[in-house]
Amino acid sequence: MKFRHLINLQLFADENNPTLNTQTTALSGLGNDLSPTMKTFYEKNLLENARNEHYFAQFGQKVPLPKNSGHKVEWRKFDTFKKALTPLTEGVTPEGNKVNMTKIECALSQYGDYTTVSDLLELRAIDPIIGKVTEEHGAQAGDTIDTVIRNVVVAGTNVFYAPSIAAGGAETPVTIRNDVTNLCKITPKLIDQIFTFLKKMKAPTIDGKYVAIIHPSVAYDLRESDGWMEVHKYAQPEQIFNGEIGMLHNVRFIENTETKIWTNSHGAVYATMFFGKNAYGIVEPSAETMEVIVKPRGSAGTSDPLNQRSTIGWKATTAAKILYEERMVRLESGSFFSDVDKAN
């Protein structure tokens, strides 16, 4: 006859503390430390930082600058002749008109940045340091150039201020930026007024419409307006601009998080830029285009005698200039989000 011996393991446990010998993930005491094996899971795919889209550059008049052509660009334009409304006198030659030309100059500026990475960081880090730093500098370069252009564009002299609209609909005019509040929202009426201004100034359109670059916080106030047309409802949606979200009163709206924001004592003040064709110019030097520069360990010669450093950087040369003030309008307004958005 075979006997099966059953062993009660509970006999070996402490009756007063039945979990005394249980090995858990929290043990970290002297002689009973399991914390070295409890590692944080490491996701090898790095989180990608938010990227800004670049919209101001797509509407400027591009001017190529060949190599060895100096550090300034000059635009020239003739003044428009006034109407000749005086009837001619028979047999008498009129005095005639004079020609006048205006020149607009713009000096180039170079921008850039870099990061130095040690050999040990490059060799020991789990993440691909050189590649990811290069990617971040590429994004920084694009953001920088677009902001340089934006800062020129928002300096135009034609300014509208959104009036303060009370709950009952009564409007109070606003004439300075410091008085703009979250009650000073963009409206279809304002857009129609700006469209009319540009038409009266004979500003040429861009593919039949004027264009506005608008912050998402301001677009939020506009999208529920009567007459607003979402971009996907266009008759020819394949011809949309980069970043285009919709149209109202023959103005096509481009949404851009980097549209200029100021702040006053009431909160954020947003610039929505309206313009026609070739309102501003952008210089593109053919020999000084944006360049990402990676110098690996061992390339620096005697300045890095032990091959301890790599560098990753970029440089670019650009310039922008308003060409026709009469083709541009800046609308300054508040928004539902005026209390949370920051100056940029």
What is the per-residue pLDDT for 285?
A: 80
Distances in whole angstroms, Cα of residue 36 to Cα of each of 25, 39, 44, 319: 10, 7, 20, 56
Say whether pLDDT at 25 is over 70: no
The gap between the terminal CA atoms of the chain, to the nearest Å, is: 90
Q: What is the pTM of this model?
A: 0.79
Residue whose structure tokens are 């149209």: 247
Q: What is the pLDDT of residues 98-124, one digit of tens each?
A: 899 888 888 889 999 999 989 888 887
Region for residue 145 given its phi and psi (left: phi exceeds 0; alpha: psi -120 to 50; beta: otherwise)? alpha
What is the per-residue pLDDT for 34?
A: 62
Say whether pLDDT at 36 is over 80: no
Q: What is the pLDDT of residues 205-235, one digit of tens each?
A: 998 999 999 999 999 998 878 788 887 777 6
Rounded CA separation 339/334 (Å): 9
Distances in whole angstroms, Cα of residue 92 to Cα of each of 83, 86, 89, 99: 19, 13, 5, 22
What is the per-residue pLDDT for 42?
A: 45
Rounded CA separation 247/253 (Å): 6
Which CATH architecture group holds 174-276+324-333?
A: 2-Layer Sandwich (3.30)
Say whether pLDDT at 63 is over 70: yes
What is the per-residue pLDDT for 207?
A: 87
Rounded CA separation 28/211 (Å): 64
Mean pLDDT, range 76-97, rounded to an integer = 88
Most confident of 89-103, 185-199, 240-254: 185-199
Instruction: Classify 53 as helix, strand or coil.
Output: coil
Rounded CA separation 47/229 (Å): 35
